[in-house]
Structure 1
């Protein structure tokens, strides 16, 4: 079934919002003071982001292809697998969805934001921070993680193995994100997605939260540029090696 661009954009907006709500919601549950999940380990965040990608994929994979990531949209377009005329609309609603999703996280955890005094814990529920305070380390981490994410996502959804059951393929995407957060997430967060980092960071800048500290804009280009470059390369490599002409 062919869906209109408007319907597909609605799917991208809602899908990106769900990803951020479930993903950054899990971060807020762990990082913010006095929540029921405060002090839980990294596994909770990995599951939050894994299922935060899996649920929209299952809902919208057959509607908009569930990009929910500008790096994926741009990578597809550069390799001729997505129309350039739809790139800006897709990216725009992805950013709006991430902004809205983060606003929902703040609304649901507002009392716990007020009780948290560590600015980096607060910022970490919005966007990414390199734990080593190194832009180079952050760039490498985001590039490698995003390359595996997008190479894997394209491979899973295009693999002949799943050609008769894309629903199972979309389940696989969630587990791919889960293991990426579990294995590579300790360094930066991670973003693996420009919209997931930049839109919430902007909201962090705008909101008058207690003890929020700086939004660390000097680092903000890393989780935007690294995923975009990795996405373009990942799709080019996969298409060149494994997609039949």
Structure 2
């Protein structure tokens, strides 16, 4: 009876168009990423470091991305206590940075753009290596874990300047939320109109990373027949050694 009921609901509600299925999967995946990632930032900021630190933020985004990848492939009262009811974008008690990225004081617009290009290029480069069946690759089902570890590597090595948004969806959507939730237009004016850097920088970086992987690695893969011969030879060598 239960299976029959599920079948009826599936017939009535299941989407037929792939584009709508992909939209729902991406929507839920990004929600989980921002939930865990921004949640870890909120916990660290609002507790003034008592319940969080940079490492816990890195872990939050890493695990958030891993879970988002598996799924797709809230502001609490503490916020008002922390900022005394004010929605502050910059300064010591700023809370807008919980949701979107803002540059450190030492970072210029040009250097910020380069920071995002390099970070996104590194991410795409590593993802292509992880998912390349003609390279070593990652075991099936382990790709999200490996990609999460790439995010962790980027976080601990490139997070000083502005965090590591490296994804337009991760930064622009929460920034739009803060703009309408009380922080206002300052979320777009802060940091010398910083907002466009984490949107366009990763796009450029993605192209750069993909081009580098193609030119340095993918372009030089052996053809299918030669690859199969190499695999047979490697297996033979392993058997001989054992």
Fold in common (TM above 0.5)? yes
Q: Normalised by the size of structure 1, how large is the TM-score?
A: 0.71
Q: In structure 1, which of residues 27, 37, 43 is the aligned counterpart of residue 41 of structure 2?
A: 27
Number of aligned positions between the proteins: 193
Higher RCO by CA contacts (8 Å cutoff, separation 6 or greater): 1
Asked if the contact 2:166–2:198 (Cα under 8 Å) also holds between the matched residues in 1, the reply is: yes
Q: CA deviation at 1:174?
A: 0.5
Distance 1:35 1:238 in 2: 39
Question: How far does residue 197 in structure 1 lie from its aligned partner after superposition?
Answer: 1.1
Instruction: Measure the CA separation in 2 of the matches of 1:162 and 1:148.
Output: 16
Residues in 2 aligned to 1:49 and 1:206: alpha-carbon distance in whole angstroms: 24
Q: CA deviation at 1:178?
A: 1.2
Instruction: Give the Cα separation in 1 of the matches to 2:186 and 2:47.
Output: 19
Q: Which has the larger radius of gyration?
A: 2
RMSD: 2.4
Structure-1 separation of matches of 2:181 and 2:79: 11
> Deviation at 1:35?
8.6
- 1:101-143 deviation per Cα after TM superposition (whole angstroms, max 9, x unaligned): xxx3x2xx2x121022364341111111111252122112211
Detail structure 1 runs of 4+ shifted over 6 Å in the superposition: none
Unaligned residue ranges in structure 1 (runs of 5+): 62-103
1:43 match: 55
Matched ranges for 1:8-157 at <5 A: 8-33=22-47, 37=51, 40-61=52-73, 104=74, 106=75, 109=76, 111-117=77-83, 119-120=89-90, 121-131=94-104, 132-157=106-131
CA deviations over 1:178-216 (Å, ceiling 9, x no partner): 12112111210121011111111111111126xx89314
For the 8 Å contact 1:142–1:223, the answer to whether it is kept is yes
> Do residues 240 (structure 1) and 215 (structure 2) align?
yes
Q: Which is worse superposed, 235-244 or 146-155?
A: 235-244
The more displaced of 120-129 and 169-178 is 120-129
After TM superposition, give the deviation of residue 168 of structure 1 in Å: 1.6
| Unmatched tracts of structure 2, length 5 or more | 1-16, 224-242
Length-normalised TM-score, structure 2: 0.72
Instruction: Report SS of the residue matched to 2:175.
Output: helix
